[in-house]
Amino acid sequence: MKRIFTILIGLTLRVLSALISVIPGLTGNLAAAQPAVQGTPWTIEDCIRYALDHNLSVQQSALQVSQREIEVNTARNNRLPGVSAGASQNFSFGRGLTEDNTYTHANTASTSFSVGADMTLFNGMRISNNIALSELNLKAATQDLEKARDDIRVAVAQAYVQILYNQEILSVAQRQVEIDSLQVERLEALMNNGKAASAEVAAQKASLAQSRLTAVQAANNLQLALLDMAQLLELPSPEGFTVAAPADDRLRILPQSPEAVYEAAVGIKPSVRAEETRLAYAERNIELAKGGYLPSLSLSGGLGTNYYYTSSGYAGKKFFDQLSNNFSPYVGLSLNIPVFSRMQNRNQVKSARLSYNTQQLQLETVKKQLYKEIQQAWYNAVAAHDKYESSLQAESSAAESFALVQARYENGKATITEFNESKNQYLKAGSDRVQACYEALYQAALLDFYEGKEIKL
């Protein structure tokens, strides 16, 4: 029994292997779904590309586009005639109508067949307006999809910069632990030779413990930043995920003014274009509401036949003969003229105009919000550039000061408190420089993005 079970498992594995080999692209799709994040650092372009393909919010927006495409197809098909077919079987008991149009006391049965078609010729331009509205809905959904993509790009860039910053903070904290560890070893050696007091060793050990705590907090902050990125990318876990530092950390030249960036952004950003499309939708909706005042004309036609039978022995014609004799085509026109609709048409037009005015305000609100975002990004970029230049000088001065204090401390001319204060100032200056550098790079990349360029650091 065990041998048979082993053979069945082997056959099953072979079948699955064969299926995977004959289905094109399956292996590639599986590899794309589970990327190898171990070892190779991800660039910001890799992160953005992967997020656009896998983020659930983007996928939901893409489904909305597909739904709007179906609605456009439905609206266009309303121009086509509708065709239907039917059949019925009726039984009558008691007095009934015979085939020769006389009544008799007998059970009767009738079979009917029909085919009909109807087509709207004119209905106040409702079909044309509904097609235009559905196409505008599709256009707005497409622009919403692009906005969702833009939001993911910006979110990934923010998470990427946060990872870089936390990596540098952790590196600074680890250097601080190394310096404090060396100082503890040095003081212990001096204490063993009677050249340092135990109080100095205890104070330096306390400083080392605090440095280690800072390093642990920095490592945890880095792990949380990696987790945020993994969630944006829809990765199952951040384990093994690393990012690559920018190849070129030179600061870019900023635009002359936020107004220049806004002039470029207002015509291309999907958030603005989506609201402009919705404004066109609201305008077209007014025309649709006005169609309620106009008459509608429809064309209909069809054909039918029936078979009749009585239980009284009435000698009716045969089934197919009756179907042939009772064959009756028909065609007709129907005109509907609205006279009074209890003010519904008037109120619908008023409501459509109010919706148009509301959408105008919404468009202006989105434009102002975009300008506000660009202003903030521009001023943040200017401030980050200035802060970076200042932090370079501060770090250089702090490095010189720390080197002097360290030399004095090693020669016994400075206290341990002075040494630790100088060390902390030097490490903080390095941390401030890294933060300013990445902030300046991010804000400059954000301004480029508003102008329609790809986000690159």
Which pTM does this prediction carry? 0.79
Q: Does any domain span residue 110?
A: no
Let me know how long the chain is: 457
Q: Does any domain span residue 218?
A: yes
In the predicted structure, residue 252 carries a pLDDT above the cut 70: yes
Contact (CB, 8 A) for 117 and 330: no
CATH number at residue 289: 1.20.1600.10
Question: Which positions ≥6 away from 258 have C-beta within 8 Å?
Answer: 371, 374, 375, 377, 378, 379
User: Distance of CA 204 to CAs 195, 421, 422, Å?
Assistant: 15, 12, 14
Least confident of 7-11, 26-30, 217-221: 26-30
Q: Does any domain span residue 28?
A: no
What is the average pLDDT across 185-195? 83
**Interior angle at CA 33, CA 32 and CA 39, nearest 5:** 70
Q: Does any domain span residue 317?
A: no
Q: Does any domain span residue 424?
A: yes
Q: What is the pLDDT of residue 66?
A: 96
Distance CA 441, CA 453 (A): 14
In the predicted structure, residue 39 carries a pLDDT above the cut 70: no
Angle between helices 198-233 and 44-54 (to 10 degrees): 40
Q: Does any domain span residue 108?
A: no
Rounded to whole angstroms, the maximal C-alpha distance in the chain is 137
Give the DSSP H or E segment for 97: strand 95-97
Give the closest residue to 307 by CA, choosing from 319, 324, 325: 319
Distance CA 350, CA 341 (A): 15
Annotate 330-360 with DSSP letters as a single string: EEEEEEE-----TTHHHHHHHHHHHHHHHHH
Distance CA 273, CA 457 (A): 27
Q: Does any domain span residue 279?
A: yes
From the CB of residue 200, how many other CB atoms can be counted at a distance below 10 Å? Answer: 17
More confident site: 441 or 311: 441
Domain count, the chain: 1
Least confident of 47-51, 182-186, 233-237, 441-445: 182-186
Task: Tell me the residue range of the domain where 151 lies.
Answer: 41-79+124-294+338-450
Say which amino acid occupies 424: N
Q: Does any domain span residue 140?
A: yes
Handedness of CA 182, 184, 185, 187 (dihedral sign): positive
In the predicted structure, residue 38 carries a pLDDT above the cut 80: no
